[in-house]
């Protein structure tokens, strides 16, 4: 699972604040449990806006492995922002992907509905299990019925501790699950 953290709510805020915010977080090696430190970065483009950002990578000095930390408004292995992907997933029952207002092509939207829909469903289930584990309650399946997976994630997140985010459901899910697996300590 990718490491996702709140590092600024917009590309501009991210570019100005990411390094400082990363230094304030405790991010641990998924394999060894030791604290990771800033190592280097690489450039990435947010496709729908053309904005470029530097993705920071951390290194584990015990094993030498590096790990990229994405801002919560991006998704691993995706060129578009979480906002674009979530716009499509919120309309997952739409018969025609062209009905969804997003800059991605129809084939990309269809792929998101297929692959990201399944991922969002799994994330919602894991978050409900996390809610039971950490706060002793879950969101009823009856409550979640008829909601898109994105809306399910946001509903379940209401049960969990709140920490700063850009407001994107997928980013929130990644941050909660990353904390569950002790990679990132947000609180």
Domain ranges of the chain: 3-185
Report how far residue 86's alpha carbon sits from residue 119's, in angstroms, rounded to the nearest whole number. Answer: 12
- Average pLDDT on 133-142 reads 89
Which residue has better confidence, 14 or 31?
A: 14
SS3 1: coil
Residue 100 has pLDDT above 50, yes or no: yes
Where do the DSSP E strands lie in 130-186? Answer: 184-185
Q: Provide the edge-to-edge strand list for the sheet that holds 37-46.
A: 3-5, 66-71, 51-59, 37-46
Residue, of 112 and 40, whose pLDDT is higher = 40
Nearest-angstrom CA–CA distance, 93 and 133: 31
User: Over pLDDT 90: what percentage of the chain?
Assistant: 32
Structure tokens at 171: 């980013």
pTM of the complete model:
0.82
What is the predicted pLDDT for the residue at 187? 38
- Model confidence at 41, pLDDT cuts 50, 70, 90, reads very high
Rounded distance, CA 150 to CA 129, Å? 16
Q: How far, CA to CA in Å, does 46 sit from each of 28, 71, 78, 185?
A: 27, 12, 9, 26
Please report the pLDDT score of residue 98 as a whole number.
64
Q: Is the dihedral of CA 59, 65, 122, 78 positive or negative?
A: positive
Tokens, residue 22? 């990363």
């Amino acid at each position: 699972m990718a490491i996702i953290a709140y590092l600024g709510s917009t590309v501009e805020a991210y570019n100005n604040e990411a390094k400082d915010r990363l230094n304030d977080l405790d991010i641990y090696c998924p394999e060894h449990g030791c604290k990771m430190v800033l190592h280097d970065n690489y450039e990435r483009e947010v496709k729908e806006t053309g904005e470029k950002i530097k993705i920071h990578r951390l290194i584990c000095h015990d094993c030498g492995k590096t790990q990229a930390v994405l801002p919560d408004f991006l998704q691993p292995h995706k060129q578009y922002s979480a906002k674009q992907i979530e716009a499509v997933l919120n309309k997952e029952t739409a018969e025609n992907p062209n009905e969804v207002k997003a800059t991605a092509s129809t084939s990309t939207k269809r792929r998101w509905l297929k692959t990201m829909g399944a991922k969002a469903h799994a994330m919602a289930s894991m978050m409900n299990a996390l809610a039971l584990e950490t706060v002793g309650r879950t969101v009823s399946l009856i409550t979640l019925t008829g909601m898109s997976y994105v809306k399910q994630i946001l509903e379940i997140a209401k049960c969990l501790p709140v920490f700063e985010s850009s407001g994107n459901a997928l980013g929130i899910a990644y941050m909660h699950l990353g904390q569950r697996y002790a990679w990132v300590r947000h609180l």
